[in-house]
Amino acid sequence: MRNKVTKAVFPVAGLGTRFLPATKSVPKEIMTLVDRPLVQYAIDEARAAGIKEFIFITSRGKSALEDYFDQSPILEQELRKKGKLDILEDLKSTNMESGAIAYMRQHKALGLGHAVWCARRLIGDEPFAVMLPDDVISAEKPCLQQMVEAYEETGGNMVAAMEVPYDKASSYGILDVKDDMGAMVSVKGMVEKPNVEDAPSNLAVIGRYILDPAVLRNLNKKQTGAGGEIQLTDAIAQEIDATGVYGYRFRGQRFDCGSKAGFLQATVAFGLARDDLKDDLRGFLDSVMQIENAAE
């Protein structure tokens, strides 16, 4: 029997400079998509995949994130008193069990690989997931759950993968594919943010990973890669001939909420998926498009 994946690492130490001035006082992960902070979508997805322990790699200025995961007894009491039971239920669904959540500070911004390495003692010697909350994935079956099911067959290391336009390859970790089996590919190489002309394919790594603890040992070497940072991609690539690396083409739509355009698109898409909002929002979007078209 393969070890179950029950721990997930959420690297949330980034400064969020692309969203300044908003992120001067609000951590990016707390910014709201419709009515839930970005990070809640990642937590919900992790829970659906069977994750029981949530490890956040934070940095200075992220205390609002820690507060968000606290229980809110006064708020709950008020809602109960006022009979606002649906809101109460929604609020309670975000509560985390005591001891299920841990925060670890990354003292220096040395890269994604370094952020994940900071969690090594909490992870120990078992497979674990990594989720980048900036990548929001809307899917019938949550992306990490799809991956956990596929991983039960393969073991090794698995990264979420998606075809991107070739001219965007330099923004991603890119896979060099050995065998393409459709939903799954086996990998013979991985490069972090290659020059467009050097990209081995246009199959990009998206922010969901299931990793063997050997990756943490590779990160012990603290080798720097693209951008002078300690890259997770490089530590995973070192496992290609050892524990094996697979790319998994998930079913679902990915939004890059690390960019303003992606965040806006996600807001519209998630708004349109909500029964309580979709009619108003669709009417509004139609009228905006009519005005746009008339102006052309």
Residues that bind ligand G1P (CB under 6 A): 112, 132, 135, 172-173, 192, 204-207, 232-233, 258
CB of 257 to ligand G1P, least distance (A): 10
CB of 95 to ligand G1P, least distance (A): 28
- Among 54, 44, 173, 176, smallest CA distance to 113 is for 173
Q: What are phi and psi of 21, to 5 degrees?
A: -85, -5
Q: Is the dihedral of CA 258, 259, 262, 263 positive or negative?
A: positive
- Quick one: 187 or 232, whose CB is closer to ligand G1P? 232
User: Tokens standing for 195?
Assistant: 């020059």
- Quick one: 40 or 233, whose CB is closer to ligand G1P? 233
CB of 192 to ligand G1P, least distance (A): 5
- Quick one: 47 or 114, whose CB is closer to ligand G1P? 114
CB of 197 to ligand G1P, least distance (A): 18
- Separation between Cα atoms, residue 250 and residue 139, nearest integer Å: 9
CB of 191 to ligand G1P, least distance (A): 9
- State the SS3 of 135-187: EEEECCCCHHHHHHHHHHHHCCEEEEEEECCHHHHHHCEEEEEEEECCCEEEE
**Closest residue to ligand G1P in the complex (CB):** 173
- Quick one: 207 or 271, whose CB is closer to ligand G1P? 207
- Quick one: 201 or 233, whose CB is closer to ligand G1P? 233
- Name the one residue in this structure whose structure tokens are 């009228």: 287
**What single-letter amino acid sits at 20?**
L
CB of 135 to ligand G1P, least distance (A): 5
- Quick one: 37 or 173, whose CB is closer to ligand G1P? 173
- Separation between Cα atoms, residue 35 and residue 134, nearest integer Å: 16
CB of 232 to ligand G1P, least distance (A): 6
3-state secondary structure of 132: coil
- Quick one: 79 or 210, whose CB is closer to ligand G1P? 210
Pair type for strands 135-138 and 253-256: antiparallel
